Structure 1
């Protein structure tokens, strides 16, 4: 997709803006601990005492407690309270208007104070919520402190707490961090006296796409209720901004949901992943400068999961080509900015994604807006994830978060599924694990979801004893990773498909350590018996013990993951009954339950690293899922290959073009035709000899008159190596004040050990700073080597900085910079 087109689509983001909204990003202070009381957040400002404790640090929002410690090796991430404080200038322009704080998400329990008055609380880290501060502000403005100590500003203090709590969802047994902090945007919001709390826009169209209807209902703020009629107007604009409908009337602003109007459209322009056409709804309540205004984007599409069949959008079969997203990023954890989120979603779209499961919680409105404008269908779910079933407080939170998720994201045309749970067959939080009680609560959630929204399907993943309750079910199928071999995939999937009314396969794939490659990636499959199932079972994620499985016995190379992905995608093209799949996940993310992974505390199943660096598997997906001509030679991050002199070595090319020609050291090795069923790399693979030493590879692919090309270079090593006996540390780059160092492992004869996966740990002495705690292969101070090497970046002062690296059983080495 061209950059200009993407930029245009992003302008169409589905927004629902209040009349006056300001993001409160700057001017914050933070302390990661509890206070004796809210007065301690206010007192140092009042007293101006430089000896006040604790010491606060300046931060900007979004901000997460766990930006670094979530992936810090050898320690648990912080779970507990933290405090934020700032001062607001409040100037509501509306007569008798309301002033609110709008939280787009905060983790996980939050209390809000104006001066020392508690004005609101919320439990749950992922749904949106508001706090009306109108009265508290008005009261504080009458105090002497308002003018003298605070110079006309309002002290705001917020306590967030992500402490472990068994009576909250999600469970701390979940394979992701339960983050703390103001990690989504916080807005100061001014509303006029009469304002809408929620606008529900139900856009429907028949399967033929001939007739569409848009039903609008509004829920007003309780403070807006009156006994007099209020003027209301609505304009409907088509995707090009042309008016196609208008309504003007008067209504009584009363409690509950009020129907505004229904538009009927002939031959509406349909929303789809290829053409995400969005209509604009402009609502005005009242007249003149005191009127309330709101703008929403809506889309018309017909969504159907065929019973015992595929998925259809607008009456046509659409293979859902999906992935997953966690709210997590290098250096910031959950506190991703809008620019970061946009970059991530565009990367997904460029990979060819048309579907995403948002795991395992309601995500930012920014994500949903981008799904609408980019054309990505969505499964969004509540965080009832693992652990079992808690009591009344636990269940009330789950139901509340379901209601909030549906109501807050109801208008998004991208959403086709509401998820009710994930891995609810996974016990551990409570002494009792009662399947019948879990079934009863799942039934209650399913009924509630249909009550809130009859137009969308419900779904869960991996809880077989509840699979008959929801509309769509996804079993556990991890062929070639936790169980079985990847060639089992189609047979296992067909069996699972036959056992449910509507089938969708979400979560498949495998871990890969970025930068690690293998000449024999499938060796581990020889230890595993085919046909033994492909589900994930208790203990399969462990790197120790249990039955043979690739997740434990494989090499975690990018080479193996590419083969696994390649096989799955080739098979999916020959399964006409398949509704679709979603690869788990798009990006590596941090998790507290995987301390022993090659990057500690990281789930490394992503096709991009935690900092958006694509792995090789990203291009395998592109070669199957995109149409703009592309070509990619496998091995861009593989500096040294190895083998015998004169041995034929495989070169793989991933491309969506009809044919490709390979050149090795300037010599053509012929043209190959693409055939998706010719594994691997859809037939674009060559067996060629490499010259000892440096080699240059180039590929030219063509699609009609269009050609694209790619090239790589590497060293070919024919020397054999033994056990690693020493480390060699060197500086390999020094750019813009950032130094990159590399450690290599050698044997006693001085030959680099190209399959060495030893643990190495970097440290720094003197001035400077390591760029670590990023959760990436090159941004972690403790990491497994990839092909006998590892790198890290740092800031150094010449002559005043030394870097050390150690590895168990080897002599520590030191490099003065």
Structure 2
């Protein structure tokens, strides 16, 4: 086989004479709020701050649930030159994503309004610029991420289970091409057309037919005789197949689609365990002159969903998946490409083989990583519990479906499209049309569309979420491992949990272990269900959301990408010997225990090997095989029951063929002694482009090096070198200093445009400090040049931020309060056996959150009270009722001496509503909850939190 070099083709791609892609990410002027006249070319933007993309409309606190993220107008302006080399060429600007409505001007002329924040749009600016290398052009973007009911997803932020965030939060590119060129699939806006569309037929290990559809536009004023040649190249740069078209005459201002087919012999098929990628090099000729070149990475594979499950390349495979929101702590949706890739690496290393990008298409950087890492994807159209039965909403939603397929259709990682609106009561007509649009955009047997099985017309879909409705229909569980009833606080499960014990949801060692055990049960059932393709955990990573003031703590990883126990459960499902570029799939073992006096004596170990040997302080406690009760899992947990506790070191050895292939140990933690820092790079360097981001984790350790799980020390960071701490100096954000959670936390670092050595110092009172060095690497990719920009003397102070800062939603006040009822004595007017008043005092240790107080009879009123054992200034309380479908009528009373009581709040709530009772009273020792009516059953709750400070 010849290489591209030997064929003399590689130079055509390397010189970039015909097609250029320049980063438009640097040196934008930005203003948050609305300023009249900002769209004008001569507007004075010198007082605006300079930002680099991807950029969030506002850096937010780590926990910004409850509608705290900025909603409103923002402006971006970019001054730029167009190089003389592009004179006579076509010039386009591509926005990968902009929230939610974007108005764009060039030199004061309005070009377009784009609706929707999760898919790209491209503008032709050829006739609006001068390619002389010196004319100062300005592109202006006005963004508005306010609630927009007719822009999918459409649901108001305050009622949404995730956060919209905003800004030019993905990359922006400047493309130049010849006037005779390969089109952009989204911009061309042709059904099943535009750009390159590559499909496969007759796929086997012996051969595969590669079908290539190429759309060419001739924007010359004269006809052009052109041809297209495709080279399919392997990872050694060897040409494995080539196909050329005959000359075709395209009239002026017209277009044509070439359809070609070529055979690849003995193809290396794409599979999650060996995600082999070829590259299609496309060359467009004007007669015999090269005028355009294009590169497309492909994976040759065949998929099928049917009544038996999911098949890839003829092999049945169970899919272990997770859902992923694109959010990252502090920066919202504005992840750098490197952060997207690191997320993909973490999820793939975590044992997941499929990701549902709930609830919208995601960044090409994340999708590129999925192609490379063998991480299959389900891609939904933007939507969440919202439907507007009007033409505007529906047509925008249909267009979203079209564009998400056109944008991502050549990716081997995508195995399922979700063209319906998540958990939404839409019409039958919408259901049918969404399916028709999907198959019209992707004809053939390799397009699968999914719908909830309870929807009208769901029987016509290729795959349903839930049980199949007909023979040969595929089925999948789109979300599992979470439950909406938990949104009101602790319930009968710990599926939502925190790494620590001071957050809204139960957590710490016992909370994480209980959550992991419950997920083990569910995962085993999913894998045991005949015909079910698999399921996707909700979620892979914790997220903020709009409609409640606590995060959705359902992730296997937290906001900072620190793992919970369940991460290791899923990681143990990977085979120990996979070789995938960019990730490590090695033998692993993890002891899910802190080994403290309060730890459970039943030791759970996650491992992907044959046997486990467990030692305590060097003594062999036993040898175990996986728990046989989880027989459907690739690698079930190992359980050592009733291990007698003694302080020291617990160690597990993973055994394969009598050889120790992995070990893990935990040691009884001591008192905090020192800090350590770890750069969470996942093998991906930090780039000095002004916007690249990297997380650094800080750990609180004892003298033996053990992370202290009950450490909540305040940690302060100092940074030197060409970088900054995201949110540093903004007390509203609270990123520096930050309080550790369960002995660990993270700090997010952003590179400047200067490469070099970055040094991060972490300090905490009473602990030895830590330092770590990071080198930001120089970049080579070309950027769009422009007039030199001088930053303002000081960063603008935004009026919209001051309003938000002084008037946060009242439901968020509790986050900053101290619960003063922890472990204080409580009494009640009556109690059900086994449900004592003291059990429901407040913040009971994590392994007792499932306990509750319940009245001993249904006589009303009933009361429960807590003695704070001191005098406090109180600001409110919060009650976590047992039932989500029972209404509890009650009043909150306070007293200084347990004699005279003052009513300070009166409510009627269910457990689902979890409202705050806000009041301000001083000199209070006792708080009493008096229940006056219950719609059914008995008065019953899990926890009461009382917020205030000691006087």
Q: Give the TM-score normalised by structure 2.
A: 0.64
Shift of 1:591: 1.2
Shift of 1:656: 0.9
Is 1:609 the counterpart of 2:558 in the alignment? yes
- 8 Å CA contact 2:321–2:537 kept in 1: the answer is yes
**Which residue matches 2:250?**
253
Q: Which of 677, 698, 710 is the aligned partner of 2:651? A: 698
Rounded Cα–Cα distance in structure 1 between residues aligned with 2:746 and 2:406: 45
Q: Secondary structure at the match of 1:418?
A: strand
**Which residue matches 1:529?**
none
Gaps of 5+ in 1: 1-14, 49-54, 427-434, 476-494, 511-535, 717-728, 743-753, 813-817
**Which residue matches 2:141?**
158
**Which residue matches 1:31?**
31
Q: Secondary structure at the match of 2:528?
A: coil
Rounded Cα–Cα distance in structure 2 between residues aligned with 1:707 and 1:203: 42
**Which residue matches 1:135?**
127
Rounded Cα–Cα distance in structure 1 between residues aligned with 2:495 and 2:627: 29
* Alignment deviations for residues 35-88 of structure 1 (CA, whole Å, 9 cap, x no partner): 21335784225xx6xxxxxx5222211011143157337762111111112211
Shift of 1:763: 12
Rounded Cα–Cα distance in structure 2 between residues aligned with 1:779 and 1:593: 28
**Which residue matches 2:623?**
671
Shift of 1:805: 8.6
Shift of 1:383: 0.6
**Which residue matches 1:229?**
225
Q: Which of 574, 583, 588 is the aligned partner of 1:631? A: 588
Equivalent runs, 1:259-338 vs 2, <5 Å: 259-286=258-285, 291-306=291-306, 308-338=307-337
Equivalent runs, 1:50-449 vs 2, <5 Å: 55-69=47-61, 71-72=63-64, 76-91=68-83, 93-138=85-130, 152-170=135-153, 171-172=155-156, 173-198=159-184, 199-206=195-202, 208-221=204-217, 223=219, 226-243=222-239, 244-253=241-250, 255=254, 258-286=257-285, 291-306=291-306, 308-425=307-424, 438-449=427-438
Relative to structure 2, which stretch is displaced further, 448-457 or 91-100?
A: 91-100
Shift of 1:797: 11
Q: Secondary structure at the match of 2:520?
A: helix
CA gap of 1:763–1:367, structure 2 versus 1, over 3 A, is closer
* Alignment deviations for residues 217-247 of structure 1 (CA, whole Å, 9 cap, x no partner): 2223463575231243222224543222231
**Which residue matches 1:9?**
none
Relative to structure 2, which stretch is displaced further, 331-340 or 226-235?
A: 226-235
- 8 Å CA contact 1:321–1:625 kept in 2: the answer is no
Shift of 1:259: 2.0
Q: Secondary structure at the match of 1:30?
A: strand
Shift of 1:213: 1.9
Is 1:682 the counterpart of 2:636 in the alignment? yes
CA gap of 1:763–1:544, structure 2 versus 1, over 3 A, is same
Rounded Cα–Cα distance in structure 2 between residues aligned with 1:649 and 1:295: 57
Q: Give the TM-score normalised by structure 1.
A: 0.74
* Alignment deviations for residues 763-801 of structure 1 (CA, whole Å, 9 cap, x no partner): 99xx9968998899x9977x9x86xx99798977999xx
How many corresponding residue pairs?
678
Shift of 1:425: 3.3
Rounded Cα–Cα distance in structure 2 between residues aligned with 1:77 and 1:409: 29
Rounded Cα–Cα distance in structure 2 between residues aligned with 1:371 and 1:797: 39
Shift of 1:761: 12
Rounded Cα–Cα distance in structure 1 between residues aligned with 2:221 and 2:370: 35
Shift of 1:121: 2.6
**Which residue matches 2:459?**
468
CA gap of 1:222–1:341, structure 2 versus 1, over 3 A, is same
Rounded Cα–Cα distance in structure 1 between residues aligned with 2:667 and 2:547: 38
Tell me which protein shows more helix as a share of its residues. 1
Is 1:543 the counterpart of 2:488 in the alignment? yes
CA gap of 1:382–1:686, structure 2 versus 1, over 3 A, is same
Q: Which of 567, 576, 582 is the aligned partner of 2:521? A: 567
- 8 Å CA contact 1:109–1:124 kept in 2: the answer is yes
- 8 Å CA contact 2:678–2:698 kept in 1: the answer is no
- 8 Å CA contact 2:602–2:639 kept in 1: the answer is yes
- 8 Å CA contact 1:730–1:741 kept in 2: the answer is no
CA gap of 1:271–1:235, structure 2 versus 1, over 3 A, is same
- 8 Å CA contact 1:350–1:626 kept in 2: the answer is no
Rounded Cα–Cα distance in structure 1 between residues aligned with 2:737 and 2:651: 30
Q: Secondary structure at the match of 1:286?
A: strand
- Please report the RMSD computed on the Cα atoms of aligned residues, expressed in angstroms: 4.1
Q: Secondary structure at the match of 2:329?
A: coil
Rounded Cα–Cα distance in structure 2 between residues aligned with 1:213 and 1:160: 45
Rounded Cα–Cα distance in structure 2 between residues aligned with 1:790 and 1:91: 49
| Larger gyration radius, structure 1 or structure 2 | 2
Rounded Cα–Cα distance in structure 1 between residues aligned with 2:213 and 2:517: 50
Shift of 1:120: 2.7
